[in-house]
Every structure is written in C-alpha cells, then in structure tokens.
A and B are shown apart, each in its own frame.
Chain A
C-alpha cells in the first residue's frame, strides 16, 4: 500500500508545479491568443466532461441522480452559490430515494 503514498506525492508535485511556475516565472502577459483562449476554455471542458455522464451513477439509483442533476443545473443556472447547489442536489436525491427504496 506504500505505492499509494507515491501516487499522492507525484500528483502533489505536478499540481504544485503548475501553480508555482507561472507565479514565480511569468511576470509578463501571455501573448498567444490561442493559448489564452485554450486556457480559458479548459476548466469548462474538463469539469463538464467529469460531471457527465458520471453524475448519473453517483448515487445508488439513476432516478435520484437524474433528479439531483436537474436540481443542480437549475440552481446553478440561476447563479446560486456553490454550497447551495451542492447541498440542494444531495437533498433532492435523498428525498427521491426515500420514495423508491
């Protein structure tokens, strides 16, 4: 199981380097329009790909996942806070599961 610590350290080093290199080295603005655009779109593409379709199997029943997903989308679209969106999605799924168990 010591391999787990190796995984943890490797990812920590990669993640820290990503954060530290620009902050310590880059003091001028990036000029490439493509790279700037690419970096701008990356979080949206990554988080969207991680969320769907994985969210459909996040709970024990697909039905509660779908309802939780719908609630999260509606609240987020109305610009509710991170905490509100996450907790309401969980609560909605919980209520659905009360009925189908």
Chain B
C-alpha cells in the first residue's frame, strides 16, 4: 500500500513540477511532510542538504532520498527502502518523459506562440512563489532551539547560531555567487564546531 502511494504521489509531483528541482521541493514537502507525514520537517531539511551536496539532478536526488526515508520510517527493512527509492525516482520522471515523446515536436513548432509564452510567463512567476513558500515553511524548523545560543522572541525559542548561518549563506549565495557545495560544507563544519563546545 505504501509503495502504491509512493508511486502515485511522485507521479503527481513529477507531472506538476515546472521550472526545475527547486520548485519540486515545495510539492514534495506538501505531499511527503504535510499530507502523508512520511517524515518530519527536520528530516526533510536534512534530505535537502544531502540532495544538494551530491551530484545529479536535485529532483531525482530528492525523490530517491524521500522514497528511501519514507519506507524506513514506516518500519520496513533497508532493502525494501531501496525499492521505495527506485519507485519514487521512476515515478517522478514517467509523465514528463512521456510528454517529451508526445508533445515536444508540437511545442517546438509553437514555441513562439503567444498563448504558450503567456502560460509559461505566469507559471514562472508562480514558481518563484512556490520556491519562496518552501523556504518559509522550513524556517520554524531550522530556526528552532539548538543546544546552545537560544533567544526567546514571543515565547518561541530561536537559535542565534542558526539565524547567523542562514544570513551568512544567504548573503554569500545571493551577492557573492559562492558555490553551494562550499557553503554546505562550511556550515556543516560550523555546526560541528559550534555545538561541540
């Protein structure tokens, strides 16, 4: 039953992802964390870290890791979890690849069609909101209390260190175009150092 749900869920996610892996994050988050409860929000943040550190398309990496974790969290052994991860990554590409075969020729002929252009324009704008929503939804989890360095705002415990890391990485990535993998490695080392003292 879980495997069928995994397949169906990632089939939908693949079919409705426009604009690359980052917009897929919002869809996966909604299905996997909010709707099905297959993993916690913190586990989801870990998944995103791993899928950005390793080679390959972020969409495939996220689907593979999510499929694996969902099955393990349901209490199944690792080899079944591997099946789950393969099902998820297969499901996520089925509909898009089928569409490549069916409509890519047609779309190539009509790429300058004003209707197609208009739909793509609005989709691109909505996807910006989708990515922003994914980040906003993760914030309570990633800013929540850590072993040291917390402050209390409106009865909510925030971690000062997490906020500093967030701002630093945001600035370095946005303004200085720093490489994501270097930033991820640096923050991992920072976490290890900060919370070890």
Q: Verify that A and B bind, or say they do not.
A: no
